[in-house]
Amino acid sequence: MTKKELIDRTHKYMCKDGGYSRKAAEQAIKGALEAISEELKNGCKVVITGFGTFDISKHADRVGRNPKTGAEVLIPARNVVKFKPGKKLKERVN
């Protein structure tokens, strides 16, 4: 599913409850994604009950190898976003 498809589906869902515009659905999705991104950027965990948890994991510097030449390459430290699905999401998928 793309972001556009998510906006369209959200708009369809919102129309059932009161005729919101597609623009309102788009702003809602963009706002939610921006809020999640900002919290992760600030190092906070984001818990959406029933859906899952987004968290940051820190990966330290490490040495890798260029597979073509065999030369060692330093891979710099970085933050990685991890997602752990919630119980209700797991149940719906299975």
64, 73 in Cβ contact below 8 A? yes
Walk along the chain (94 residues) and give the pLDDT tens digit of each residue: 999 999 999 888 888 766 788 899 899 999 999 999 999 999 999 999 999 999 999 999 999 999 999 999 999 999 999 999 999 999 999 9
In a domain, 26, yes or no: yes
Question: How many domains are contained in the chain?
Answer: 2
- The pLDDT assigned to 26 comes to 92
For residues 22 and 59, membership in a common domain is answered with: no
What CATH number is attached to the domain comprising 60? 4.10.520.10
Same structural domain, 61 and 82:
yes
Return the amino acid letter for 17: D
> Residue 10 belongs to what domain range?
1-44
Whether residues 58 and 37 share a domain: the answer is: no
Query: Does any domain span residue 49?
Result: no
Give me the pLDDT at residue 16, please.
76
At residue 90, the pLDDT reads 93
**CB-based contacts of 6, cutoff 8 Å, min separation 6:** 29
CA 15 to CA 21: how far, in whole Å?
8
What's the pLDDT score for residue 17?
A: 67
d(CA 14, CA 7): 10
Q: Check residue 28 and report its DSSP letter.
A: H
Residue closest to 65 by CA, chosen among 56, 77, 75, 55: 75
6 and 32 fall within a common domain: yes
Distance CA 77, CA 65 (A): 16
